[in-house]
Amino acid sequence: MLKQRIITALVLAPLALGAILFLPVDGFQLCMALIIGLGAWEWANLMSISNKLGKAAYTLLMVAACAGLAFYVPVAAIWYQGQLNSLYLGILAASALWWGISLLMILAYPKYTSGWRNSLWLRGLFGICTLLPTWVAVVALRTELYDVEPLFGASLIFYVLGIVWAADIGAFFSGVKFGRHKLRPNVSPGKTLEGLAGGVAASLAIIGFAAMHYQVNASMIWTHLAIGIITVGVSALGDLNESMFKRCVGCKDSGTLLPGHGGILDRIDSLTAALPVFTLCHVLWMT
């Protein structure tokens, strides 16, 4: 299993790096839409859809939504005079609302679940609320200041990836060593408060360095630190959210697309919350 995980990571890491750094924006949008489509295929499992036709329909719906946004909001219109397109901003704001609702669902689980557990349409809507804003967020970040500094947006994406991955690693080792108090045992028995604290601590070095690098105004450094900590905190919510839906259908992994890792959703669950929330905070407080 470990060998499979290492081989898969060694293959995927340069592909992700190349896509973020070297794909033109149109190609990047398409690539991200395909990844979201793979996530939608797996989300269909969390909706208890077992037939391939149903999975394909849900996948096509998600990819079509990404394509529709790309067509309706051309690349040149995503950012105008330093302001994010109002439709994209609205989707990110709706995403923040969804993650607030998800938090309440996680805190209440397994109580009050019958209303959505037995509804295919609601679970499908939850998938849209989880995946579509992720595409919006990563495209918005990649295109920021693209005409001035083509790699500026890429650096923001790497920043979010860095702090989320650091938090995941810190949470794992801190949880193994010090974990005593379960975070939400009904949702994810392995997650602990000590692990969460360790994840935040592990990411602080990256957050602090980035705050000093991106900001020369001392007052904005604190804003940058706050956004980073919020992003790390909400990334744990993305993980718990997927765990909750997997527990509802009784599966360990969202899929088998990545040998040794499970599914696409198992790798990006933290990012589905972290990217939209970070992007919204960045747009509202930093631009």
For residue 6, the model assigns a pLDDT of 61
Q: What is the pLDDT along the chain (287 residues), one digit of tens a residue?
A: 446 556 666 677 788 889 999 999 999 999 999 999 999 999 999 999 989 999 999 999 999 999 999 999 999 999 999 999 999 999 999 999 999 999 999 999 988 888 898 899 999 999 999 999 999 999 999 999 999 999 999 999 999 999 998 998 888 888 888 888 888 888 888 888 888 888 889 998 888 888 777 665 777 888 888 999 999 999 999 999 999 999 988 888 888 777 666 789 988 999 999 999 999 999 999 87
- Distance, in Å, from the CA atom of 213 to the CA atom of 99, rounded to the nearest integer, reads 29
Which pLDDT score, from 0 to 100, does residue 284 have? 95
Look at residues 255, 249, 242 and name the one whose alpha carbon lies nearest to residue 41: 255
Residues 6+ apart with CB under 8 A from 207: 163, 224, 225, 228, 229, 232
Residues contacting 146, CB < 8 A, separation 6+: 25, 75, 79, 152, 153
Q: Is 68 exposed, middle or buried (0-12, 13-18, 19+ CB in 10 A)?
A: exposed
Task: Give pLDDT, residue 259.
Answer: 65
Classify the phi-psi angles of 215: left when phi > 0, otherwise alpha if psi is within -120 to 50, otherwise beta.
Answer: beta
Q: Which residues contact 41 (CB under 8 A, 6 or more apart)?
A: 55, 56, 58, 59, 255
Name the phi and psi angles at 237, rounded to 5: -65, -40
**Token pair in block for residue 183:** 């975070």
E strand or H helix at 152, and its extent?
helix 152-178
**Are the C-beta atoms of residues 129 and 98 closer than 8 Å to each other?**
yes
Give the contacts of 121 (CB within 8 A, at least 6 positions apart).
none
Round to whole Å and give the CA distance between 99 and 276: 10
- What is the pTM assigned to this prediction? 0.94
- DSSP-assigned beta bridge partners for residue 13: none
